[in-house]
Amino acid sequence: MIGLLDRLARPLLHALDPEDGHRLAIRMLKFAPLPRPAKDDSRLALRAFGLNFPNPVGIAAGFDKNAEAPDALLRLGFGFVEVGTITPLPQPGNPRPRLFRLDADAGVINRLGFNSQGADAVLRRLAARAVTAAPSSSAGAAAWGAGVVGINVGANKDSPDRIADYVALIERFAAVASYVTVNISSPNTPGLRNLQQAAVLDDLLARVVDARERVARNAGPTPVLLKIAPDLSLPDLDDVVGIARARRVDGMIVGNTTVTRPPSLRETAKAKEAGGLSGRPLLPLANRMLAETYVRVEDAFPLIGAGGIDSGPSALAKIRAGASLVQVYSGLVFRGLGLVAEIKNALVAALERERQDSLKEFVGADAAAVTAEAWPG
Ligand SMILES: Cc1cc2nc3c(=O)[nH]c(=O)nc-3n(C[C@H](O)[C@H](O)[C@H](O)COP(=O)(O)O)c2cc1C
């Protein structure tokens, strides 16, 4: 079914303007009669942030911004789904065109700018899902057993108090989210990345963690993750990790899209478009920043690795650089939905080859080596 959907859809989706293609893909997923996926190999299962994942391959934020198809995405075999970024109030994002496919590089540039239907609409959708998924559960989203669906939250562009936006979204979504990601790393909302600066970040995380503790009384525990940019300097990364550890966040996602443009890019005209670059050209920088983060975190919490995964080997490299879980987005555009099974099969094959029972053995195995390489350029 997935193969068929892919074969039918991909030529059509690639013929469309990228944003129209994406909308059509979401619509197809919403209505496709997808069967339940085959059970994952038990060696892929893991526990992180207090949650149980059937496999470590997630779909990254930005694909299903408004939580229209989280269950369809779980049925495609993802181990978890991150919806969002959601902003408190609806906002249209930047003017179109704002999404560009760099076909020759297998990369994407986007400057969507947090186009979001807003918290009310998304909350209604997720609450309806919660009722269907677990009619008898009152113990909070983490107890559903209906798949891990995290929510990525951001601030409105014109918000007078951006930190208050994050706090409000954690309070509102805790009951329907497996976890919440605090996204301070989108390059497309002017000034947003400034929230990564030490003094501001400390204030943000203090208030966010306070909200996490407050909502836990009614909603049960909701892990809070911090998603960072791959463009931080290493001294800034020292600060960010130090503050994240001191404030006891539950994990980090490394990372978002990059505003840099590797000289290797072949689509030189499109490379000049403003926005964040993702996909294959991001892999070396994303892996370097992941490894740099891993060595600084010292196992205080697990990391999710995102950026440039488009094959089994690139997913394994991400885990070996320090990721307990991985997320994909741009790779799906070029490789199709079969990528999910390809990655899972490659991970099982690696476990068999190395005679290991769990991916834990691979996590961070290459981190020190990656940090010793020349800086990716
Ligand atoms: C079109 C597009 C939209 C995105 N929107 C978001 C978003 O709303 N929030 C977010 O945290 N990341 C967003 N991202 C970043 C992805 O979640 C991911 O971190 C990044 O693309 C690197 O992974 P990839 O190389 O597999 O695409 C977006 C990426 C793309 C390509």
Distance 231 CA to ligand 1 centre (A): 14
pLDDT at 20 over 90: no
Residue type, 352: E
Short-list 281, 178, 274, 188, CA closest to 229: 188
Mutate to test the pocket of ligand 1, among 257, 310, 326, 339 (most ligand atoms within 8 A of CB): 257
pLDDT at 257 over 80: yes
Q: Check if the beta carbon of residue 346 is closer than 8 Å to that of residue 306.
A: no
Distance 22 CA to ligand 1 centre (A): 13
Tens of pLDDT, residue by residue over 185-232, are 888 888 888 887 888 999 999 999 999 999 998 888 999 999 999 999
Nearest C-alpha to atom 28 of ligand 1 is from which residue?
62
pLDDT at 133: 53
What is the Cα–Cα distance from 313 to 347, expressed in whole angstroms? Answer: 8
pLDDT at 366: 98
pLDDT at 6: 78
Nearest C-alpha to atom 4 of ligand 1 is from which residue?
62
Q: Is the CB of 108 under 6 A from ligand 1?
A: yes
pLDDT at 373 over 90: yes
Nearest C-alpha to atom 29 of ligand 1 is from which residue?
62
Helix (H, G, I), strand (E, B) or coil at 199: helix
Alpha-carbon distances of 164 from 121, 168, 203, 373, rounded to whole Å: 19, 6, 11, 40
Beta pairing, strands 80-86 & 46-48: unpaired
Distance 77 CA to ligand 1 centre (A): 19
pLDDT confidence tier of residue 129, bands split at 50, 70 and 90: confident
Tens of pLDDT, residue by residue over 280-300, are 999 999 999 999 999 999 999
Ligand 1: nearest atom to the Cα of 22: 1
pLDDT at 15 over 60: yes
Ligand 1: nearest atom to the Cα of 280: 25
Q: Is the CB of 66 under 6 A from ligand 1?
A: no
Structure tokens at 354: 């190395």
pLDDT confidence tier of residue 141, bands split at 50, 70 and 90: very low
Mean pLDDT of the chain: 92
The Cβ of residue 307 has, within 10 Å, a number of other Cβ atoms equal to 34
Distance 320 CA to ligand 1 centre (A): 21
Beta pairing, strands 148-153 & 251-254: unpaired
Instruction: Write b or e for each residue in 39-68: b if 16 or more Cβ atoms lie within 10 A of its Cβ, otherwise e.
Output: ebeeebbbebbebebbbbbbbbbbbbbbbb
Ligand 1: nearest atom to the Cα of 306: 23
Tens of pLDDT, residue by residue over 142-194, are 334 489 999 999 999 999 999 999 999 999 999 999 999 999 988 888 888 88
Share of the chain above pLDDT 90, in %: 78
pLDDT mean over 241-253: 97
